[in-house]
Amino acid sequence: MLSIGELAQTTGCKVETIRYYEKIGLMPEPERTGGNQRRYAPRHRERLHFIRHSRDLGFSIEAIRELLALSDQQQRDCAAVDALARRHREAVQARIESLLTLREELDRMIEGCAGGDVAHCRIIEVLSDHSQCQGEHG
């Protein structure tokens, strides 16, 4: 059994984050000692690793909640898990495309800046007038 500090250290997760995950129901309540200290079993560590890895991959709290619920149903067909992962990948792809468009617009602004004083700065001009942008972004 691990204390909350030991669990935090072994998983690289902050104590406050572990408490938050407990509060919102992602982590099951741990056992308590007679002195009311939390004691975590290996299943808590495994679940926290799952949550942290999911967060690292960009899954939302609600998606992680759904994935955890699905993972608790070992005999269920994994089609729902696959669908959730595919939706997340599509959202990531859309974000990547949006960021690439944003980068292109920033590159155009920067390349258009000839230096000089701020009163004639191309970057300030474009930021002041969205119609000067070549594409949609944001």
- Determine the pLDDT at residue 137: 66
Structure tokens belonging to residue 39: 């004691």
CATH topology of domain 1-66: Multidrug-efflux Transporter Regulator; Chain: A; Domain 2 (1.10.1660)
- Determine the pLDDT at residue 128: 84
pTM of structure: 0.78
- Determine the pLDDT at residue 138: 61
Q: Using an 8 Å Cβ cutoff, are 47 and 36 in contact?
A: no
pLDDT in tens, 34-43: 898 999 999 9
- Determine the pLDDT at residue 54: 96
Domain ranges, ordered by start, for the chain: 1-66, 77-138
Q: Using an 8 Å Cβ cutoff, are 30 and 44 in contact?
A: yes
End-to-end CA distance of the chain: 47
pLDDT in tens, 105-123: 889 888 888 777 888 788 8
